[in-house]
Amino acid sequence: MSPALDGSRPAEILLVEDNENDVILTREGFRRSKLLVNLHSVRDGVGCMEFLRREGKYADAPAPDLVLLDMNMPRMNGREVLEAIVADGKLKHIPVIVLTTSVAEQDVCQMYKLRCSGYIVKPVDFERFAEVLRRFADYWFTVVVLPPGQCR
């Protein structure tokens, strides 16, 4: 059962985002959603993979229920991260939602071909962005049944 459905623990979300302002806006958007969520963030794809694999400083990191992935980042971009997640038998069950500014049809197609679970374009206006996050959180944590811990 999804963590938000039974209320036993907060949903663990990993935000992979190199823009600190977007991290702040995302935190505020989830705070406004009033759902029980722990938002963890890393600045690039290398950090994402270290977090997911619990390497180095992330050895005690919780297993995320969901990854929010920016596409354009330094060191390892969103496409490379998604490829690595899908190729890893221990990680491929984790839903990955692309959260980006790109509306390019080729980006949308490519990320779905790589098996992303959803593609969200970040609105420029904060109030609209907060509403998008509220709807997103409501859907993913009150409607969708996420993979149970034993999938990990």
Per-residue pLDDT at 136 exceeds 90: no
Question: In the prediction, which pLDDT does 1 show?
Answer: 39
**Residues 7-26 pLDDT 10s:** 567 889 999 999 998 899 89
Helix axes 78-87, 105-113, angle to 10 degrees: 20
For residue 8, the model assigns a pLDDT of: 67
Arithmetic mean of pLDDT, 77-89: 95
Q: How far apart are CA 61 and CA 4, in angstroms?
A: 19
First to last CA, the chain: 15
| Residue range 123-143: mean pLDDT, rounded | 83
| Rounded mean pLDDT, 38-57 | 96
Contact predicate 97/71, CB 8 Å? no
Topology annotation, domain 3-142: Rossmann fold (3.40.50)
The residue that leads in pLDDT, 135 or 146, is: 135
Residue 49 pLDDT more than 60? yes
pLDDT at residue 4 above 50?
no
The domain limits of the chain are 3-142
